[in-house]
A and B are shown apart, each in its own frame.
Chain A
Amino acid sequence: MSTLATTVLDLLLDPLAYDFMVRALLTTLIASVVCAVLSCWLVLIGWSLMGDAVAHAVLPGVVLAYVVGAPFALGAVVFGFLAVGLIGVVRDTSRVKEDAAIGIVFTTLFALGLVLISVTPSQTDLNHIIFGNLLGVSWPELTQVMVLGAVVLAVLVLKSRDFTLYAFDRTHAHAIGLRPRLLGAVLLGLLALTAVVALQAVGVVLVVAMLIIPGATAYLLTDRFGRMLVLAPVVSASCAVIGLYASYYLDTAPGGTVVLAQGAAFTVVYLASPRHGLLGTRWAARRRRLRRERAGA
C-alpha cells in the first residue's frame, strides 16, 4: 500500500481507537440523518422558525424529565406541543403577529429551562443540553438516540407521501377525506422527538441548523422531492463526518464544527448549484442573452 493511502487511513482510523469518538460519530451520524430527512418537509412547509421554536422550547421539558426521572423524549414532546399551542393562542387571541408570538413563547420557555437548570443539582450534566456534549455521549444516551431516531425515521418513511401532500396542499388533503390537522400534529411531535435526538449531538442552540440547512441545501439541488429525501441526509451525514474529524484534529468544539461544515456545504450549493444556484442562474441568463444577440445579429 502506498504511504499516502496508509497516512489517510491512519488519519481516519486514529480517532476511532477511542471509544468516546466512536460514540460521538454514531450519535452525530444518526442525528444528522434524522434531522436532514425531517428538514425536507420543514423547509417546504415554511416551518423553519417553528423548528427553531420547538427545539428551544423542549429545554424545560427535558430538565423536568431529568428531575422526575422520566424519559427525556416525553418531556420534550409535552413542551414541544405546549410551545406550539401557546404560539397559536397568542397569535389568534391578540393583535400580535405570528413571528412575534413565536419569538415570545420559545424564548420564555427556553429561559424557564435555563432557570430550572440553575436550581437543579448536577448542573454539569444539564448544561450539556444547551451546547451539546458530543464527546461525552454515554452508551445509554446513544441507545436513546438510536431508538428515537429509528421511530422518527420509520414514521417519516411510512407516511412520506401524506406529509408531502400536507406540505403542498392541505385543502386537497382535507377534500379527499384525510385529516391534515392530525398530519400536522404528528409532524410536530416528530419535530420534538428529533430535537431530543439532535440536542445530544449539537445542543439546543444549534439543533435548528441541522433541521433547516440540509433540506434547504437539497432544495437548491433538485426539483424532485424524492431526490431531496436522498440528497439531504447524504450531504448532512458527510458534513457530520467531516465536521467531527476536523474538530478532532483542529481541537475545536465538535457540535459547532459539524454545523459549520453544513453551513459551508450550503454556501457551495447556493453559489454553484447548476439549476438553482446563484452562478448557475446568472450563467443561464447570460447564455440566453448571448443567444438572443447572435440570433438578432
Chain B
Amino acid sequence: MHRNLLRTSLLVACAFCVASSHLHAAPPADLALREEAAFRAAVAEAAPSVVAIETIGGLETVGELLVGTGPSSGLIVSEDGYIVSSTFNFAHKPASIIVALADGTRIPAKLIARDEARNWVLLKIDAPRKLPVPKSAPEAEFTVGQWSIAIGRSFDASQPNLSVGVVSALNRIWGKAVQTDAKISSANYGGALVDVRGRVLGVLVPLSPNAREEIAGADWYDSGIGFAVPLDHILSVLPRLKSGENLKSGLLGISFKGPNVYADPPLISKCRAGSPAYDAGIRPGDRITAIAGRPVEVQAQVMEQLHRRYAGDVLKVTFVRGTETLERELKLVEKLEPYQRPFFGLLAERTTEPGPGATVRYVYPDSPAAQAGLQAGDLVTKLQGIDVHSRDELRAAAADLDPGKPSNWEFTRNGAKQTATITPVVESDTKPTDLPELAKPAKDGELAKPVKLKITEYPNTAELYVPPQYDEAVPSGLAVLIHPKGDFADKTTLENWRSRCRDMNWLLLVPQAVEGNWAPRDVEYLQKVIDRTAESYRVDAARTALIGYEEGGVFAYRTAARFRDRVRCVATINAVPPGIPAENEPANPVTFIIGTAKDFAGAARVTKAVEQLRTLHFPVVQRELPAKADDWDDKNAAELLRRLDALDRI
C-alpha cells in the first residue's frame, strides 16, 4: 500500500515541480476555485440522498480480512424508503441495521435482497416522509476524463465525506462497473459517485475482475482504482430485488479453446452436460459468432455479454458448426449441476465395424432394461430417434439422456421390429452379483511374453503383455499397472496381473518410473505409451484402466485428471486422491474403484474423497482390504475384474 502511496504522491509532487518551473503552466487559481464551487454544488445536490448505515453485532472477520463495523454509506433510490448499499457493508452478517438520514433521523432497516454479481444490496426503511431521490446520469453519457465525486457518509452522520477524481474507464469488470480514481474505500462503499452536476453515476462497491466474494476488491482501497455500479443499471433491476429476488451471475456451461481470452476466438472446447448450452444443442467444436445479436470475435466479448446478465435471463447465441450457422435462445442458470450418467443396464457386443445395429450381449437383472423386457440377442437400431450401428454409437446416444426420463428404443428380435420405453436410473455401484461372468473365460496355460515399448524422447521403459487369445477383430481392454515408489516389493503383484489379464483377455501395460519415482512429466509419458499401444493393438477406448498402487495410485489419479479422454477407470490401493475432478463427462466417463488396507493411514482422507466423488455422481466402488494388504485379495480381485470388463456398460 505504502509503495503505491509513494508513487502517487511523488507523481503529484513532480507534476508540481514541472509546473513551478514553467511560469504559466499551472492552472489559473480562479478556474480551480470555480471547479471547487462546482464540486460543492454537486455534493449539495446529491448528498441528501446519501445515508449513513450502522450495523450491530456480526462477525469479526470475513475470510482473512478484518471487517470494519464502522458506519458505512447507502444511497436512497425511492421516496418510500428503498436504499442501495454495498454488499461489503453486510459481509459480517450483522444482527441489526440502522440507517441515519442526512438530518440525523435514525430508522431500522431490513435487508431485502442482494445482487451477488455486482456486490450491492437493497435495504428498506419505513420512510417517515418522502425521501430525496437523486437524479441518475444516463450511462450513455459517461465519458472517460469527466469529473466524478465520491460521496459517503461515514465519518459523521450529519455531513457527507467526499473524494474527487475523474472517470477512469467505462464498462470495467466485464461491463459491470464504471471506474474512478477518486479514493474509494470502506469510508464510502455504498455511497454515490456523482458527476459535476450532482447526478449519480453509480453506487460505490469493491469489485475484482478475478474474484467473486462479497469482499473481493476491498484490498484495492484508496489506490487510485475504484468502481461504481451504474445507477441506471441498478434502477433497471430494482423491481426484481424489491420482490426479494437475489440476483446471481448467469452461467452457460461452456469453456473455450485457447488461453488468451482477448485474442482467441470463442471456439467451444467443452460443454457441460445438462447445462443451458448443452441442452440447446451446442457442442465442442462450435464457434460462437454473436451474442444477443452483437457479433463477437474473441472470447472476452462473449464473457462481457454474459457477465452483464444474470441467472434467469435469456440470451440469444449464434454459432457456426461447419458451414452451418445456428441460433438458439438459452436461459442462463445460477449453478451447473454435475452430470449424472444414465444407466439402462445392458452390455453390447464389442464390434469393430458398424453394422445394422448394436447387439445386446447381457442385461443386468432388475435393471431398467430388464424391466422393459430387453433380452440378450436383441439388435438395437434406434435410440430416441437416433440410428445406432454399433456399441459405441449406442453408448454415445445413451450418455446424453437424463436419468429419470423415459427414452424410446427400437430393436429387432428374431427379425421382428419391436419398441420399448426405458427410464434410466443414475449410474452408481451395481451389486457384484449383477455383473456378468467374464466374456471369454480363458483356460489355464501359458502366460503372455512381454513386448518392450520405448518412447524416444523419454527415459522410461515399459513392457506390454499381450494375452494368448488376443483377437485383432475384437477390441481389447487395456490395464496399465502403475507400481508404487521404487517398484513392487516382489514379483507377485505383476504375476497376479499377468494371469488376471489373461483371464480377462486384456492387454497389460507395465510402465516403469525413472529411478522408481513418478514425476509430473511422466503423466505425458503415460499418455504417449498408451497411445503407442493403441497404434499397434486394437485397444478398447471404453475399457482402459489405470491400476495404481500407493504413490503409483496418486500418479494414476493425476494422469486420469489430465487425460480424461484416455482413461475410463482408476483402480487404486492405498492412495489418497490428490484432487477431485470437476465432474463426470458424457463422452469421457470415469469409474473409480478404490481399495484401502484396514491399517492404511490415509483411510479417512480417502473416505472423504469418495464422498466428494459421489456428490459429483461419479460411480465409485470402495472396498476395505485386509491389514497390510499390498494387492487385491482373491475375493475383491474377482469383483474388480468383472467390473473392469463391464466398463462399457450402458
User: Is A bound to B?
Assistant: no
- Chain A residues in the interface with B (C-beta under 8 A): none
Q: Give residues in B with beta carbon < 8 Å to A.
A: none
